[in-house]
Amino acid sequence: MERIQGKILKGIMRLPSTTLYWGLLKEVGVWPFRKVSSYQRLLLFQTLMISEEDRLGRIGIVEQEISGRKTTWYR
């Protein structure tokens, strides 16, 4: 995804393909796709955890914690 993001940004700005990805992101103020995705998951997690106790999404998260799962969508 980050490779595609870099190609699109370079194409929009008409920059050579040799332009460094991280430098480009810094100059235009765009977050890497992976960081945006992590941020959105964190916001969803926060929304579910502060919601009502009987909300299905929150119940699922609590049950995963109780069961001791090592891998979940929010980690």
Domain coordinates in residue numbering, the chain = 2-30, 36-67
pLDDT in tens, 36-68: 989 999 999 999 999 999 999 999 888 888 888
Say what the pTM is.
0.65
Q: Label residue 74 by pLDDT band (50, 70, 90).
A: confident
Q: Which of 72, 4, 67, 68 is nearest to 42 (CA)?
A: 72
Q: Label residue 69 by pLDDT band (50, 70, 90).
A: confident
**What is the mean predicted confidence (pLDDT) over 17-36?**
90
Six token digits for residue 5: 């993001």
